[in-house]
Structure formats: C-alpha cells, structure tokens
Amino acid sequence: MSAPSPASLHTFLAHCRTLLGDGHVLTLADEMAPFLTDWRGRFTGSALAVLRPATVEQVADTVRACARWRVPVVPQGGKTGLVLGGVPDASGTAVVLSLARLNRVRAVDPLNRTMTVDAGCVLQAIQQEAAAHDCLFPLSLAAEGSCTIGGNLSTNAGGTAVLRYGNTRELCLGLEVVTPRGEIWDGLRGLRKDNTGYDLRDLYIGAEGTLGVITGAVLKLYPRPKAGITALAALPSPAAALRLLALMQGHCGASLTGFELMSSFCLGLVARQFPGLPRPFEGGHAAHAQYVLMELSSSESEAHAVGLLERAMGEALEQGVVEDAVVAKSVAQSQGLWRLREHIPLAQAKAGKNIKHDISLPVSSIPAFIEQTAPLLERAFPGCQLVCFGHMGDGNLHFNVAPPEHVPHEEFLANQAEVNRVVHDSVARFDGSISAEHGIGALKRDELLRYKSPLEMNLMRAIKDALDPLGIMNPGKIL
C-alpha cells in the first residue's frame, strides 16, 4: 500500500470532520494520547487521528473514506487487550477507530434468550442488563468493567466461565460487521441453527479487527443459576488436580462452572503481597503443592449445590485425591476465596514484572507439561520462579516466569525471548497453543510464524487478501 500524500491526508481529515463532526476527529497529541498507549503501559503508538463515530452508518462512511484514501484503520474497544491488538504502530499513518460511542443495548428477547448490542457496550453493562431480565450473560473476566463486547468478540475472549459456557465465540449467535470496503454486513441473526453457507460469523470473531469492524452482535443468554457454591481444595500435585477434575465432572456435569488451578507459590505470593486477604488453610501455604478453586452452580437450590459438592468432595478426600478442603459458608466467604485467585496477577505486578505466557494444552497433558517444563526452565535459568495458575478445566495455564530471588526484575526481563522459547517449544511438543485466550495482536506475530505451519499461514493470508484486498484493516496484527 503506497502512502497517501500530505495534501490528500488533509482532504481525508476534512472529509472525516464532515462525516463525524469536528469534535469526533481528534488530531491533537493531548487528545489522542489516551488512545495510543496499551493497557499495560508497555507501548505507545502514533496515529494520524482518532475517529469516534456514533452509529453503524458513520463507521461504514468512515471506513469507506479510509479505503478511498488508503488510510489504515485500527479498530479500538475498551483497550484492555494484552497483545497490542488495539493500538496503532509507531508509523503515525493509521487512524484509530474508537467504537466507544456505539454503546446501546439494542434489544433483549428473554424468551429467545438473546440480547442485541452495539460493539462498544462495556461487558459489565451487558452482564447487568442480562441480570435485569433474570438472565445470565456468562462471559466474565478481570477487565469486565472496561472492556467492550466488540473487543471480546474480536479476540474471542475466554475468562472464568469457559468450562461451562465456552469462549466468546460460543456466546454469540449473530454479528454486524463493516467490511474493509465500508459495506455493512447484517448478520444479526438470533438463531440456534442456521446452515446456509459459510460461517462468516466465526471468521470475524477472533480476527482481531483484521478482516472488518464488528459493530454489533446478538449474544446468547442463559437462565440465571439459583445458587452457587465455592470451594478450595489442597492437593499434592497437578496430577491429582487432573483426577479431581474428572471426578467433579463425572459427579456434577454442567453444574461445575469453574475449576482454577493455583500453585502453592502463587498463594504464597498473594499472602506476602496482600496480608489482609483470607488464609483458608492453617499451617500456611507451603504444606500443599497445588490448590484448586471450584465453583458449582445449580439451577435448583443452594441445598442442591451443597449436596453435590459434599458428595463429590467426600469421594475425593476418601480416594486421597484431595488432602484438605474448605467450602465457603456464605457469599462473603465465596468472594474471599475468589479474591485469592483474582489477586494473583495483582500480586505479580506488585512483586515486579515477570515473563508471561498464556498457553493452552490438552487438559490431560497439564501434569506432564508442568513436570517436564519446570526443570527445563530451572536448567536454563537457575533459581527462576514459576507463577503457574489458570483455567485448568479449559487446559489454559498462565505460566509465568519470575526472576530468581535477588535478581532485579528488569535484568531478568532481558531473557524474555529465551524464556519464551523454552516454554513455547514445550507447548508445541504437547500440541498446545501459544495463545489460549489473549490473541496474537502485534506482540505474538513472530511467535505465530514460528509455530504455525506454512500452510496454515498461507490459508490465513489467502483469506485476509480476499476480504481486505487493500490491506487497510489493522495492519501488522496477527499476520
């Protein structure tokens, strides 16, 4: 794509002002700054302008202008992504297309169990709207107060309820997308079954804005569970956690809605950094190797959930799969247990930066993966500390590597590429994925090239070229 001339860019921006109004075409550095730096503050890009359309038609008009003037488009939601997918590169040639002003809930159909929303709706607002109709929208993740559903869809976000309800892809029935030509594809269907041609919906979901701009969606709702119960189990090993998962799923079926693994080191880190949080087990955290946080939901009653959990945990204790367990006796205690899990990333941040991996594996391979990968890291970086936790029920580990004690964090970060290599090579040996729920963005492009087959890259490039022949959609992301 040849760069447009300064004079033509001037005309382009004037055209955008006509389309959106002066106040929604930001070009001053101060105005643009909040849109250019990523969530973790690791990268600041540059942009020609930040455009803030308010309607789907304005999005289409804007993208049509970008196509005409050959201006790259970076769609942006809540900007909470972790792989630099929603911020522009340093060239300053692209516009940021913020979807924040498209934030209406368009319709709720409780009997069809669907909600139709604008892409810029904040996830938490959608959860609340569902609850107001006595329904559940199950997508739930740490950034839910800021992230938007358009971003969740574009990255196929995961979160804590995937075990029962699936990823964002499984929670979406229909989409509205502005194509790179500025056409509006109305795929806002609220159907559970529809076999009429290629699955465009799932192609746009997870494409991280490289094939078009998601502007609206039909989301799936579920009946709200009547009760939930939380338990924390202490176990001797990841292998025991795998046995516990099978046992719980056999007993509880779809009632098991969460199964989070946390190493002893993780809970120790949380206890050191946040001494005010509960310590569920006496004798400290060194006593057991692993912990599993479990959530059960019942469509019937609290007594049903308690009964289910008691029977399953009774068997687990009897079989020696679990060494100890605490069950939350109140909503407050349940929240206290979840806070332990949620504070792991915060405790890491307080302790200093580490090298993060968002990987997935066949669930059955998790024990062997940990067992084989930890010594490889120890050999390469003696004394390094593993912060291993994650959504074990989905095979998704956050397998982070912190420096040895007394080694400065910044110094250790220089090893990022080699640490990635050890971890991702091991992931590849187990037929896992180097990005379970965060996506590729700009951050993991080189890793993708390394681990995907040339054929799969070619198939993806063929699709990209077919749907975005000018190459204006979020260039430099994924491919």
Nearer to a second copy by Cβ, of 223 and 284: the residue is 223
**Footprint of a second copy on residues 236-295 (CB under 8 A)?**
242, 246, 249-255
Residue among 326, 433, 450, 470 that touches a second copy (CB under 8 A): 433
Stretch that binds a second copy, among 6-14, 69-77, 103-111, 376-384 (CB under 8 A): 103-111
**Footprint of a second copy on residues 141-180 (CB under 8 A)?**
155-156, 158, 162, 164, 166-167, 169-170, 179
Q: Is 431 in the site for a second copy (CB under 8 A)?
A: yes
d(CA 22, CA 371) in angstroms, rounded, equals: 58
Tell the smallest beta-carbon distance from residue 47 to a second copy (Å): 25
Q: Is 73 in the site for a second copy (CB under 8 A)?
A: no
Residue among 223, 284, 314, 404 that touches a second copy (CB under 8 A): 223
Q: Is 95 in the site for a second copy (CB under 8 A)?
A: no
Tell the smallest beta-carbon distance from residue 330 to a second copy (Å): 23
Q: Is 365 in the site for a second copy (CB under 8 A)?
A: yes
Q: Is 432 in the site for a second copy (CB under 8 A)?
A: yes
d(CA 356, CA 303) in angstroms, rounded, equals: 40
Stretch that binds a second copy, among 12-20, 54-62, 88-96, 361-369 (CB under 8 A): 361-369
Coil, strand or helix: which one is 376?
A: helix
What is the β-pairing status of strands 222-223 and 135-136?
antiparallel
Q: State residue 105 phi and psi, 5-degree precision.
A: -80, 115
Nearer to a second copy by Cβ, of 274 and 451: the residue is 451
Coil, strand or helix: which one is 211?
A: coil
Residue among 467, 472, 473, 474 that touches a second copy (CB under 8 A): 467
Q: Is 383 in the site for a second copy (CB under 8 A)?
A: no
Residue among 191, 286, 376, 417 that touches a second copy (CB under 8 A): 191
> Which of 355, 357, 353 shows the shortest CA–CA distance to 370?
357
Contact 326, 231 (CB under 8 A): yes
Structure tokens at 8: 């033509």
Edge-to-edge order in the sheet of strand 25-26: 25-26, 49-51, 95-98, 73-76
Tell the smallest beta-carbon distance from residue 206 to a second copy (Å): 6
Stretch that binds a second copy, among 34-42, 338-346, 401-409, 455-463 (CB under 8 A): 455-463
Residue among 205, 292, 423, 443 that touches a second copy (CB under 8 A): 205
Stretch that binds a second copy, among 203-211, 268-276, 327-335, 409-417 (CB under 8 A): 203-211
Nearer to a second copy by Cβ, of 29 and 449: the residue is 449
**Footprint of a second copy on residues 105-144 (CB under 8 A)?**
109-114
DSSP, res 3: P
Nearer to a second copy by Cβ, of 193 and 379: the residue is 193
Structure tokens at 392: 């074990």
d(CA 388, CA 267) in angstroms, rounded, equals: 10
Q: Is 200 in the site for a second copy (CB under 8 A)?
A: yes
Structure tokens at 310: 């008691």
Q: State residue 363 phi and psi, 5-degree precision.
A: -55, -40
d(CA 174, CA 169) in angstroms, rounded, equals: 10
Coil, strand or helix: which one is 220?
A: strand
Residue among 11, 299, 334, 416 that touches a second copy (CB under 8 A): 299
Structure tokens at 74: 């970076």
Contact 252, 296 (CB under 8 A): yes
Q: State residue 391 phi and psi, 5-degree precision.
A: -85, 80
